Amino acid sequence: MHLKTLGGLALQGAAYSRPKSLLLLAYLGLEGERPRHVLSEVFFGQAADPLGSLRSTLRRLRREAPGTLEADGDRLRACVTCDASRVLSHLDEGELEVSVDLYTGPFLAGVHLPDAGVELEEWIFATREFIAAQVRGALMTLAERGAARGDFAAGATLAERACWLPGAADPEPEQFARLLTLLLAGQSPLFGRLRQQARDYEIELTLTLEEARQTLFKSELSAALVRPGLPLRGTSFVGRAKERAEILRSLARPEVRLLTLVGPGGIGKTRLALEVAQQQGEVVFVSLEATASLASLPGSIADALGLILPAEQPPFEALLSALGVRPILIVLDSAEHLLVGAPYLTTLLLACPRIKLLVTSRERLGLEEEWALTLSGLGLPEVNTSFEAARETEAVHLFAQRAKRARLSFDLTPDDLPPVRRIGELVGGSPLGLELAAAWVKLMSPAEIAGEIGRSLDFLEAAGEDIPARHHSVRAVFEQTWARLTPAEAQTFARLSVFRGGFTREAAGAVAGTNLPLLAALVDKSLIRVAEHGRYDIHALLQQFARERLAGQAQDEERTLSARGGYVLGVCHQFQTAIRQNQDSRHWLERMDDDVENIRGALTRWFERGQAEVALHCVSKLRNFWIRTGRTHEARRWYALGLSRGDLGPEALEQALHADGEMARNMHDYAAAKRQLEASLALTESRGGVVPLTALHLGLVASGLGDLQAARDYYRRALEEFRVTGEQAGVASSLNNLGAVQMQLKDFSGARNTFEESLRLKRELGGDVEAALINLATLHQKLNNEVLSADYLTQALKGLLETGHYSLIPDALEGFGFVFARQKNVRRAAVLWGATEAQRKALNVSLTADEWSEFGKELTPIRTALGEMSFADAWNEGHAMTLEQAVAYALELQP
Spatial separation of the C-alpha atoms in residues 894 and 793, rounded to whole Å: 10
The model's confidence at residue 771, banded by pLDDT at 50, 70 and 90, is confident
Query: For 202-215, what is the mean pLDDT?
Result: 81
Summarize pLDDT for 146-159 with one digit per residue, the tens: 887 788 899 999 99
Written in H, E and C, the secondary structure of 377-414 is CCCCCCCCCCHHHHCCCHHHHHHHHHHHHHCCCCCCCC
From start to end of 588-732, where are the E strands? none
What confidence score (pLDDT) does residue 464 get? Answer: 46
Average pLDDT value over all residues in the chain: 84
Spatial separation of the C-alpha atoms in residues 190 and 167, rounded to whole Å: 19
153-157, 405-409, 515-519, range with the lowest pLDDT? 405-409
493-502, 510-519, 618-627, 800-809, range with the lowest pLDDT? 800-809
120-134, 209-223, 425-439, 691-705, range with the lowest pLDDT? 209-223
Radius of gyration (C-alpha) of the chain in whole angstroms: 32
Is the model's pLDDT at 222 over the cut of 80?
Answer: no
374-388, 822-836, 861-875, range with the lowest pLDDT? 374-388
DSSP state letter for 443: T
How many Å from the N-terminal Cα to the C-terminal Cα in the chain?
A: 41
Contact between 776 and 759 under an 8 Å Cβ cutoff? The reply is yes
Summarize pLDDT for 544-601 with one digit per residue, the tens: 888 888 988 999 999 999 999 999 999 999 999 988 877 777 888 888 998 999 999 9
Spatial separation of the C-alpha atoms in residues 79 and 700, rounded to whole Å: 38
The model's confidence at residue 461, banded by pLDDT at 50, 70 and 90, is low
Is the model's pLDDT at 400 over the cut of 90?
Answer: no
Q: Residue 55: name the closest of 69, 67, 16 by CA.
A: 69
Summarize pLDDT for 833-892 with one digit per residue, the tens: 999 988 888 777 777 677 777 778 888 888 888 888 888 888 999 988 888 888 888 888
Top mean pLDDT of 342-356, 384-398, 875-889 is at: 875-889
What confidence score (pLDDT) does residue 290 get? Answer: 60
Query: How many residues are present in the chain?
Result: 895
Summarize pLDDT for 689-705 with one digit per residue, the tens: 878 889 999 999 999 88
What confidence score (pLDDT) does residue 225 get? Answer: 27
Q: What percent of the chain has pLDDT over 70?
A: 92
Is the model's pLDDT at 394 over the cut of 60?
Answer: yes
What confidence score (pLDDT) does residue 94 get? Answer: 67
Give the angle subtended at the CA of 871 by the CAs of 870 and 876, to the nearest 5°: 100
Summarize pLDDT for 229-254 with one digit per residue, the tens: 466 555 567 778 788 888 888 888 88
What residue type is assigned to position 63 of the chain? R
Is the model's pLDDT at 186 over the cut of 70?
Answer: yes
Q: What percent of the chain has pLDDT over 90?
A: 23
Query: For 121-125, what is the mean pLDDT?
Result: 86
The helix or strand, by DSSP H or E, that contains position 320, with its residue range, turns out to be helix 315-323
Q: Which string of b and e fits 403-429 if b means at least 16 CB within 10 Å?
A: bebeeeebebeeebbebbbbbbbbbbb
Contacts of 134 (CB under 8 A, 6+ apart): 87, 88, 91, 99
Spatial separation of the C-alpha atoms in residues 778 and 497, rounded to whole Å: 50
Spatial separation of the C-alpha atoms in residues 623 and 818, rounded to whole Å: 31
- Taking the model in full, what pTM does it have? 0.59
Is the model's pLDDT at 758 over the cut of 50?
Answer: yes
> In the sheet where 69-72 sits, what is the strand order?
34-35, 75-78, 69-72
Query: For 459-475, what is the mean pLDDT?
Result: 54
Q: Residue 438: name the closest of 428, 424, 425 by CA.
A: 424
Is the model's pLDDT at 260 over the cut of 50?
Answer: yes
Contact between 363 and 317 under an 8 Å Cβ cutoff? The reply is no
What residue type is assigned to position 753 of the chain? N
